[in-house]
Amino acid sequence: MEFTISKRHFLRALHRTHAVADRKNAMPILSNILLSTDDTATLRFAATDNYLGVSATAPAEIRKGGSIAVSAKTLFEVVKNLPEGDVHWTVGPNHGAEIRAGKARFRLPGMPGNDFPVLADPGTAVFSTLDVDVVADLIAKTSYSMSTDDTRPHLAGALFEGEGGMVRMVTTDGHRLSKCEHKLREGLPPASFSMLVPNKGISELRRLLESDGKAERPGKAGDEPTASVVSVAKHGGNAFFRRDGTQLSVRLAEDQFPPYNKVIPQHQDKRVVVSRALLVEALKRISLVSNDKSGGVRWMVEPGSLRVMSENPDVGEGSEEVDVDYAGPPLTIGFNARYVLDVLNSLSDDEIALEFAGDLDPGVIRPANDTTLFVGVVMPMRI
């Protein structure tokens, strides 16, 4: 195997793939990244931990084809620190790789490329096309309420759905729930998929969306969408995400996501409109004297005001009043301050609406001028 590739292209492909390699797995091959040749001008990179798989391509001058698996961590660090310019790669006896760039020389041990696991294949799955910023917004507004308990796989992930002209993401950890929806941009075909993506898959999808997304060459008819869109499909128990020559596969959770529509209250008769920034600052300050374990703060809602209070015999007490738009009956209710802050910090709206039914009923948080596309539900606390 022999090729020449620019450091920029080499590093870009490694950046997109190396993090998936699992250095702690009992199978040594999974700590490696696979380099293989597709043709005389394309180098393919692949990494997997047997749950996630990612592949990417880069333009290269291939003089001799082949494949080799090399330590992902070592290769990434070496290439990152090479001088700018072309990188020359040759594979010698016993799968040893020699790297030359400028006056720098490295020799890295490798493993046979044939020993590397085969990544999941989408086959003939039909891909839906979504805007990158839409999917990124879905993740930003829901990922905080995923459970981190992997023993509860039905909660340790995000329900990701495409339904006609709408795409949505829903997460819950049993204490709070977040649902965000977006209408597809005009001109995009209807979406059709439903998948429960584990939290590790959501994290890697976020990395894919945050990459620069710049195509290396002008797009041609039939090319995968680049830059501002991501393609999504489900096939054989795996989700597939494609962007700008990179493909991510995620083994999906087989469990059923809870019926989220039954959790979202439908008949909240008390609606409080408040400045998001002012409420965030009040919650941050008053939570300083809340119980370390529960993080509970008490809210006293009255016409024109919302008072945030906390009392902790070991630390002290505090209260702060925030002006609100509210004309209903008084209400006192308790919440975990961090849960509410997670919702508020995910939003960018100047004003948010707090909706209540009673002191033991879930609280609902929405942007004040958007009653359908985002909803955050937080269970109350007895304080």
Q: Give the per-residue pLDDT at 225.
A: 44
The CA distance from 295 to 87, in Å, is: 53
Percentage with pLDDT > 70 across the chain: 96
Residue 13 has pLDDT above 50, yes or no: yes
Whether 214 shows a pLDDT value over 70: the answer reads no
The DSSP string of 87-115 is EEEEE-GGGEEEEEETTEEEEEEEEEGGG
Q: pLDDT tens for residues 341-374?
A: 999 999 999 999 999 999 999 999 999 998 779 9
Return the closest-CA partner of residue 345 out of 361, 365, 373, 364.
365
Residue 312, phi then psi, degrees to nearest 5: -140, 110
pLDDT in tens, 23-44: 787 799 999 999 999 899 999 9
Candidates 261, 244, 128; CA nearest to 195 is 128
Amino acid at 300: M
Query: Per-residue pLDDT tens for 61-74?
Result: 999 999 999 999 99
Q: What is the pLDDT of residues 242-286, one digit of tens each?
A: 999 999 999 999 899 999 999 999 889 999 999 999 999 999 999
Q: Hey, what long-range contacts does 105-108 have (CB within 8 A, 24 or more apart)? A: 106/78, 108/70, 108/71, 108/74, 108/75, 108/78
Beta bridge partners of 311: 317
pLDDT of residue 212: 59
**Beta strands 238-243 and 296-302: pairing type?**
unpaired
Q: Which range (121-130, 174-183, 290-299) has the least confidence?
A: 290-299
DSSP secondary structure of 290-342: S-TTT-EEEEEEETTEEEEEEEETTTEEEEEEEEEE--S--EEEEEEHHHHHH
In the chain, pLDDT over 90 holds for what percent of residues?
A: 86
Least confident of 8-12, 249-253, 289-293: 289-293
Confidence band, pLDDT 50/70/90 cuts, at residue 313: confident
Q: What is the pLDDT of residue 372?
A: 74
What CA–CA distances, in Å, run from 281 to 5, 178, 343? 51, 22, 14
Q: Tell me what the pLDDT averaged over the chain comes to.
A: 93
Reported as a single tens digit per residue, the pLDDT across 316-325 is 999 999 999 9
Burial of 270-307, coded b for 16+ CB within 10 Å and e otherwise, reads bbbebbbeebbebbeebbebbbeeebbbbbebbeeebb
CA-wise closest residue to 48 among 117, 129, 149, 132: 117
Q: Is the pTM of this model over 0.85?
A: yes
The confidence score (pLDDT) of residue 293 equals 76
For residue 30, which of 111, 132, 151, 123 has the smallest C-alpha distance?
A: 111
For 62, the 3-state DSSP assignment is: strand
Phi-psi group of 343: left, alpha or beta (phi > 0 → left; psi -120 to 50 → alpha; rest → beta): alpha
**Backbone dihedral angles phi then psi of residue 41, each to the nearest 5 degrees:** -135, 5
- Calculate mean pLDDT across residues 175-204: 96
Domains along the sequence of the chain with CATH: 2-115 (3.10.150.10), 128-251 (3.10.150.10), 264-378 (3.10.150.10)
